[in-house]
Structure 1
Amino acid sequence: MSGASPGANGQSAQIVGRTLVYDGWYRLHRLEVAMPDGARVERHLLDNGSAVAVLPYDPVRRTCMVITQPRAAVLEAGEAPLIEAIAGALDGIDPAARIREEAMEEAGLRLDALEPVCKMWSLPPISTERIDLFLARYAATDRVGAGGGAEGEHECITVIEMGLDALRDLVVAGRLSDAKTLILAQALMLRHPDLF
């Protein structure tokens, strides 16, 4: 069917069966996988496409722009909203163009030059999602709208402009728990240590 990957003994794992279990906001499949050792095992695949995320930062005022929004898994865990980088689904659009749209939609922020960081798997045991990560400089004059999310999507986004020292403190204390945002914050700290 698809998806062969070499194992330790040189043989490949391969998807040999696929059943659609749910088709809604995302698609969920039950897979049968032939493993390199000869076993056939059940696995699950959440097909939720690709995404993009950006951590905008102002090197003059030493701030960054992040958001919070209600997330079902976080609500289920009874935790406070995550501090997150601006992000969104690619929906077949060029990553650079898409993240500029998301920055305007979520934070009312106009972005120009983007600094690519990496393309990461968000949850490889189950999800197809890969996220293009970017850093981007901004200035106070680039905040040209209110943000808050797309009209009619009920995202309930809160925009937070945070000092870079506060961001660093969250990273060091292990309190920045959203993976894409943690990677972006660490990339900013490594690439631009003079800002911290």
Structure 2
Amino acid sequence: MNETAERVRIVDVQVLSDDWYVLKKTTFDYQRADGCWQRQSRETYDRGNGATLLLYDPRRRTVVLTRQFRFPAFVNGHDGMLIETPAGLLEEASPEERIRAEVEEETGYRVQSVRKIFEAFMSPGSVTEKVFFFVAEYDAGARVGRGGGVVDEGEDIEVLELPLDDALTMVARGEIMDGKTIMLLQYAALHLFRE
């Protein structure tokens, strides 16, 4: 058990929504660094953990990304069409199993060897989700389908193959705004495509 667990006492948990995912309001007592207890209340959105992967070709210096409509970005003033790395929720599968399936569904590429590079909480102030980040090499022979996602899940995904330098320029111009994608592109620039 971690030492922080002794500093948290749950007082009340209310389920505010259990529709798409679970939104809870939790009241708890937290023991501060000075030893005093403070009552706090937080809302958490639990959608499960996820995985994402950057497909890259080190010989041609290219990456495979997707473009799809994201309603939350749309209601925040964006056109909603976000360029991203393939990703999905684990849904009780291992991160490695799930990301292989997601990559094939979204991009049409079948990857055998995936390498986990790190894990991260993407929005820890309110979302419980932890994302597992992977990379995998690809080539034209690994494409077994057209991709595009699963229609029954509302997916309508465009597959993009870009030079890494173009993708990094798109980040700088604000054309790529998805956090997980920016993290993986920066990782690629630092570790996968070094001169």
TM over 0.5: yes
Q: TM-score, normalised by structure 1?
A: 0.89
Show the counterpart of 1:115.
115
Show the counterpart of 1:35.
30
**How far is the alpha carbon of 1:174 from its aligned partner?**
5.6
Identity %, equivalent residues: 33
2:7 is aligned, of 2, 8, 12, to 12
Q: 3-state SS of the aligned residue for 1:135?
A: strand
**Contact 2:61–2:193 under 8 Å retained in 1:** no
Show the counterpart of 2:54.
55
1:126 paired to 2:126: yes
**How far is the alpha carbon of 1:137 from its aligned partner?**
0.3
Q: 3-state SS of the aligned residue for 2:75?
A: helix
Distance 1:79 1:13, change over 3 A: same
Q: 3-state SS of the aligned residue for 2:37?
A: coil
Q: Distance in 2 between matches of 1:137 and 1:121?
A: 25
Q: Distance in 2 between matches of 1:172 and 1:78?
A: 19
CA-to-aligned-CA distance 1:90-137 (integer Å, 9 cap, x gap): 001011111110011011111121121111101111111000000110
RMSD of equivalent CA atoms: 1.9
**How far is the alpha carbon of 1:191 from its aligned partner?**
0.9
How many residue pairs match? The answer is 189
Distance 1:174 1:153, change over 3 A: closer
Q: Distance in 2 between matches of 1:28 and 1:4?
A: 26
Runs (5+) with no aligned partner, structure 1: none
**How far is the alpha carbon of 1:175 from its aligned partner?**
4.8
**How far is the alpha carbon of 1:156 from its aligned partner?**
1.2
CA-to-aligned-CA distance 1:12-41 (integer Å, 9 cap, x gap): 233321111100110000110212242212
Amino acid at match of 2:25: R
Q: TM-score, normalised by structure 2?
A: 0.89
Q: 3-state SS of the aligned residue for 2:112?
A: coil
CA-to-aligned-CA distance 1:29-76 (integer Å, 9 cap, x gap): 011021224221221011110000001011222211111111111110
Amino acid at match of 1:169: T
**Contact 1:28–1:46 under 8 Å retained in 2:** yes
**How far is the alpha carbon of 1:184 from its aligned partner?**
0.7
Q: Distance in 1 between matches of 2:22 and 2:3?
A: 21
